[in-house]
Amino acid sequence: MEHPIQTDYLRWIVLLPLIGAALNGLLGAQLQKRVGKWLISIIACAPVVIAFGISAAAFLKLKALEPEERFLIDHVYPWLHVGSLSVDVSFWVDPLSAVMILVVTGIGGLIHIYSTGYMHDDRSYWRFFAFLNLFTFSMLLLVLADSMLLMFIGWEGVGLCSYALIGFWYHDHVNTRAGNKAFIVNRVGDFGFILGIFLIFWTLDAQGHATLAFREITKNAALLQGQMLWGVPVATLATLFLFLGATGKSAQIPLYVWLPDAMQGPTPVSALIHAATMVTAGVYMIARLNAVFSLAPETLHVVAAIGAATALGAATIALTQNDIKRVLAYSTISQLGYMFLAAGVAAYAAGVFHLMTHAFFKACLFLGSGSVIHAMGGEQDMRKMGGLKKYMPWTFWTFTISVLAIAGVPGLAGFFSKDEILWQAFSSEHGSPWLWLVGVVCAGLTAFYMFRQLFMTFFGECRADHHTKEHLHESPKVMTLPLAVLAVGAIAAGYIGLPAVFGPNFFGHWLEPVLGGGHEEHASAALELGLMLVSIGVAALGILLAYLMYYKKTLSPDVFASLAGGVFYRLFDRKYYVDELYQKVFVGGALKLAAIGVWIDTNIIDGMVNGTARLTVFVSWLNGLFDNYVIDGMVNAVADLTYWSGGKFRKVQTGSINGYLYVILGAVVVAIIIKLRYAG
Amino acid sequence: MEVGTVVFYLIALLVVASAAMVAFSHNIIYSAFSLLGTFAGVAGIYVFLGADFVAAVQLLIYVGGILVLILFAVMLTHRITDVQITNRSAGVVPGLIIVGLLFWLLYETITTTPWAKAKEIAYAATSAKIGDQFLQSYLLPFELASIVLLAALIGAVVLARKEMKG
Amino acid sequence: MEITLTHFLVLGAIIFCLGMYTVLSRRNAISVLMGVELILNSANINYVAFAHYSSGGVDGQIYAIFVIMLAAAEAAVGLAIVLAIFQIFHTIDVGATETLKN
């Protein structure tokens, strides 16, 4: 760690997508018209693919080093050196960011390739890819940044691109509103993030270690211990602010409301930004600053509680949704909740592991749903689908594999990562059986709603109208190939992080230099196996229920919907009324505040003014009496005098600016002369 | 005389001559163009005073920005072909008298006041120091300046645009 | 003969007086603005000259930069006003726009 290896190629991982974005953004419209869409595709896809190659090279280089020395850095140029603040533009790769850049460039590259098929008929083809590349650039900047300030730029950048891409089809007002919502809600989180940065910088500055670089912060994190601000430990306050930022970007309670609406964007965007990469930024940031977070057990409790609550809340909402993408959106929120649950019990490696496996199967699910939507001619309602299995076999099989993976079927990626989290939630020193229980319930719910989606979309009778049915077709190769690759990932990615009872956890060891060792104490292998069986059982129960309800149709979903008088169903269906609540409290609150301001203005301030006026009227009435009877003549004389002199003086107010200036300057000159005469 | 002194007098002559042109020319376009000489000359004076950064800013903002703006305004408010591009003066004689009096006073003050002297007169690059100061002692004015500029920007747009509704 | 502080101050005074004369005597609003720019430039020369010869820091230069910044803002708003006046009165003679008088 002390002597990082200097390189000069990491910058290209970040710069290549930027070049692609610049080319497509500035020249794209012309290129598309003059040359054709194929050139746009190459300009967009090539940088990401090459960046993946460089990332892989960096990864291999890192792998060849000793675990303690796995650290590459690329100083590009010194950026800010002001006072005690000094920030460089430099990129670093350590085991954690190596995993992230592989995910971002790898899955991002696949999604780029997929998009060339999905967006093929769009008029603004070039604009789409310019933003997609810009997003990839920002995300890589966020991941590779070696200081919090640089990370913040990437953090803002991904938010901006997300906004631009959600509202990509801006002709429809709904889409632009969704974009605005995402941007504004994210802004609330960003505000917390930047306060957290300030707080850490200030405190370390006061201790004589002013820095924003992650490496230095990690090294000096101990200095934050025992520092207080307003009676609260600084570490707790700062991490809470940072976590607020994470809830915004990663769609956790209370700031998750933007993600379901973000589904208004094109489906590849949902896959890339709102499932695989950007929304994991919060998890990455917490893992990156794990040294600081570990100092604040209170924050960790909050993180774990919010993670668990989000996982449960979003999973229950997903049960009732009928829009194919909204189910996936809530599923994403729920899975992100798992990751925060892991971070909250200080099992950062498990969180990052789930982040990675989730990226594979969720990207595959989104792209698969995109393929379905593409075939259905834009239809997103699952109630109008069904029986698509025979029309689109590739999409069906890849989708099925991903559903099995996310549902936690043993042997697939999702099983291993989810189980690792559940085990850590149970056994870690910050964990508790309650967190485990919530996690297991969520696993069951996840299995249920994912299989519900699978059955509703691909099995049974086709419920589409005749016209749509005629056009049903498998998507082109550029779309199915990425699906296949992602499906393979969804199967295989789990085997690099096997639970301890089965074999070596390569993933955990890989991240150990950054995130600290896993909890190797092992209460007992039997307990771990037992818990694993419980979660498998719960998942199987969920799958069985979905099978009975939506495949066999022997069990009516209405039975469950009407439980407890349908209260739960309505609650889930209306998403716990959170949108309505926010509308009332924040939007309505702001309006109320304005109304109060108006009231104060009309009643109190105007009242005061009116009161003064009335008083004046009264006094002048008295005055008038006095005038009329006592000094009428005198007043008249004064009034006449005033009128007369006013008439004379009126001529001075010429309105001529030159005239005024003459007077002013003349006065100044006279004043200086007098001053000189009497002073000198 | 040294070369430096000669150069100073040349620049000063340029500045004064073009400023006089601004003040006395009857054609507003000549006035506007001779402003270029003044601004560029003042930038040269800054270089003489060891203020490299201010000189660069002067060139960028005055010559590149304000002057162009003024020229635009001149062109937009006068038709070039119009004969009447005159620059009517008012009250030449009283103006000259009062300004002459002012100059005499200023000259007296300048020559008779014992000005403080710096310990050493340095000719070093100042950009780094100015940047440091902007982010330390002058942070608040610096931020305020950005707000003022924003307000001016919006204000200028609001004022200059054509009213949409008749 | 060595160049001293006095030289710069006298130069500043000359520019100031020329600017003042422009502002006083011109009836064209744009000319008035040009005069104001001259005055601001003369003030800047003084700032930088004092910073160089008297105080020895960069403070004077920073004031000069602020003045330049404000001059830019002033020019932008001022010229926008001139344009607006031109649209309404079809002249930019400062003497002609005296509707406030009545």
> What HEC string does A602-648 produce?
HHHHHHHHHHHHHHHHHHHHHHHHHHHHHHHHHHHHHHHHHHHHHHH
Q: Token match 């594979």: residue? A: A360
Look at residues A421, B73, A672, A19 and name the one whose alpha carbon lies nearest to residue C30: B73
Optimal mutation site among B24, B29, B42, B138, interface C, most CBs of chain C within 10 A? B42
Q: Which CATH number is correct for C5-92, 1.10.287.3510, 3.40.309.10, 1.20.120.1810, 3.40.50.300? A: 1.10.287.3510
Cβ contact A658–C95 (<8 Å):
yes
A652 at C interface, C-beta within 8 A: no
Look at residues C23, C8, C10, A679 and name the one whose alpha carbon lies nearest to residue B99: C23
pLDDT at C102: 45
C38 at B interface, C-beta within 8 A: yes
Q: Is the confidence at residue B69, as pLDDT, over 60?
A: yes
Question: Which residues of chain B have a CB within 8 Å of the CB of C65?
Answer: 53-54, 57, 130
pLDDT tens across C57-74, in order?
888 899 999 999 999 999
Q: Span B51-73, mean pLDDT? A: 89
Sign of the CA dihedral running A47, A49, A50, A56? positive
Cβ contact B132–A669 (<8 Å):
no
C4 at B interface, C-beta within 8 A: no
Contact A72, A59 (CB under 8 A): no
Separation of alpha carbons A180 and C95, rounded Å? 50
Q: Is the confidence at residue B85, as pLDDT, over 70?
A: no
The H-or-E segment that residue C65 falls in is helix C59-89
Task: List average pLDDT for each run of 10 residues in chain A, which is 680 residues long.
Answer: 75 92 90 88 92 92 83 85 81 90 92 90 89 93 91 92 90 89 90 91 85 85 80 88 92 87 88 85 91 89 92 89 89 92 89 91 91 85 83 89 89 86 85 88 91 87 78 83 90 80 74 68 72 87 86 74 69 75 80 84 81 86 76 74 78 67 84 78
Question: Which residues of chain A have a CB within 8 Å of the CB of C24?
Answer: 658, 661-662, 665
Cβ contact C13–B121 (<8 Å):
no
Peptide bond into A266 cis (omega under 30): no
Contact A101, A144 (CB under 8 A): yes
Separation of alpha carbons A20 and A45, rounded Å? 8
Optimal mutation site among C82, C85, C98, interface A, most CBs of chain A within 10 A? C98
Q: What are the tokens at A498?
A: 């096997």
| Alpha-carbon gap: A384 to the closest alpha carbon of chain C (Å) | 59
| Alpha-carbon gap: C36 to the closest alpha carbon of chain A (Å) | 12
Question: Which residues of chain A have a CB within 8 Å of the CB of B87?
Answer: none
pLDDT at B81: 46
Among the partner residues A655, A658, A661, nearest to C101 by beta-carbon distance? A655
Sign of the CA dihedral running A496, A499, A504, A507? positive
pLDDT tens across A93-112, in order?
888 999 899 999 999 999 99
Complex-level ipTM: 0.86
Among the partner residues A658, A662, A669, nearest to B101 by beta-carbon distance? A669
Among the partner residues B98, B105, B109, nearest to A666 by beta-carbon distance? B98
Q: Token match 């085990």: residue? A: A423
C39 at B interface, C-beta within 8 A: no
Q: What are the tokens at C80?
A: 């926008």
Domain ranges of chain B: 3-87+122-160
Separation of alpha carbons C77 and C68, rounded Å? 14
Task: For residue A166, give Cα distances in angstroms to A77, A179, C66.
Answer: 34, 5, 41
Task: For residue A325, give Cα distances in angstroms to A335, A365, A366, C93.
Answer: 15, 9, 7, 66
| Alpha-carbon gap: A82 to the closest alpha carbon of chain B (Å) | 6
Q: Is the confidence at residue B146, as pLDDT, over 70?
A: yes
Domain ranges of chain C: 5-92
Q: Is the confidence at residue B88, as pLDDT, over 80?
A: no
Q: Token match 């003044």: residue? A: B38
B24: left (phi over 0), alpha (psi -120 to 50) or beta: alpha
Q: Token match 């004589």: residue? A: A208
pLDDT tens across A376-416, in order?
888 888 888 888 888 888 899 999 999 999 988 888 888 88
| Alpha-carbon gap: B6 to the closest alpha carbon of chain A (Å) | 34
Q: Which CATH number is correct for B3-87+122-160, 1.20.120.1200, 1.10.150.130, 1.10.10.10, 3.20.20.450? A: 1.20.120.1200
Domain ranges of chain A: 357-573, 578-679
3-class state of residue A87 by DSSP: strand
Cβ contact C101–A657 (<8 Å):
no
Task: For residue A340, give Cα distances in angstroms to A251, A669, B30.
Answer: 11, 74, 70
Q: Count CB neighbours of A231 within 10 A.
A: 5
A673 at B interface, C-beta within 8 A: yes
Closest chain B residue to A667 measured between Cα atoms? B98
Sign of the CA dihedral running A567, A573, A575, A579? negative
Contact A56, A10 (CB under 8 A): no
| Alpha-carbon gap: C102 to the closest alpha carbon of chain B (Å) | 22
Q: Is the confidence at residue C54, as pLDDT, over 60?
A: yes
Contact B88, C28 (CB under 8 A): yes
| Alpha-carbon gap: B4 to the closest alpha carbon of chain A (Å) | 35
Q: Which residues pair with B30 in a beta bridge?
A: none
The amino acid that residue A293 corresponds to is F
What is the pTM (predicted TM-score) of this model?
Answer: 0.70
Question: Can you say how many angstroms the Cα of residue A607 is from the centroid of all Cα atoms in its chain?
Answer: 48
Contact A320, A448 (CB under 8 A): no
The set of chains that have 3 or more CB pairs under 8 A with A is B, C
